[in-house]
Amino acid sequence: MGAADKWLLPLVSVSFVSLMLFLSALSGYSASSALFARLPPPSYVRRGAAAPPSFAYLLSGGRGDGRRLLRLLLAVYHPRNQYLLHLSADAPEAERLDLAAAVARAAPAITAFGNVDVVGRPAAGTPMGSSGLAATLRAAAALLRLDAEWDWFVTLSAADYPLLTQDGKIPNVSPPPI
């Protein structure tokens, strides 16, 4: 056994172990970076008792009110809130689809936060009396199914146009009862 044979086995062993460590570190790095790359971006919307109150809005209108509903939505929109847009049963389906498409195009934040929905098949009825109350209760139930992390329920019609933003209203809203 020569001098070259004495060093060959340790050299191959150390090289093999180094290669394995390098490959495991490389695959571990790429796997962890791939894992973090697939996670959704963190939400910057604070929730809980220390956060400002959040609202669930029912924005309702009738035939021809799609543009007014969009204007109202953009006026009251805040990422912390949940929104349900309701066009009455007399509005054509095309208007409902146009409203949903306009909401998606209106602001990237609305699409990013995913907190605006449009009622697909509204029940027939009048805004007055029991059918209006039933529609409001169905909308509140739908908003609870979509996201139950809101403190106040607000109904607005297409004819309403707020004079204050949500940030202007918050000092006037007391904390919800616990």
Domain assignment of residue 68, yes or no: yes
- What residue numbers bound the domain in which 67 lies? 55-167
pLDDT tens, 117-160?
Answer: 988 877 776 666 777 888 889 889 999 998 888 989 999 988 88
Does residue 160 form part of some domain? yes
Name the β-bridge partners of 116. Answer: 83
The span from the CA of 140 to the CA of 14, in Å, is 67
pLDDT per residue over 77-120, tens digit each?
A: 988 899 999 988 888 899 999 999 999 898 888 888 889 998 88
Report the CATH number at residue 116.
3.40.50
Cα angle 141, 144, 148; round to 5: 165
Q: Token pair for residue 68?
A: 């007014």
* Total domain count, the chain: 1
Look at residue 92 and tell me if it is in a domain. Answer: yes
The answer to whether residue 112 is domain-embedded is yes
For residue 79, being part of any structural domain is answered with yes
8 A C-beta contact, residue 162 and residue 68: no
Are 78 and 110 in contact by the 8 Å Cβ rule? The answer is: no
Q: Which residues contact 115 (CB under 8 A, 6 or more apart)?
A: 79, 81, 82, 83, 147
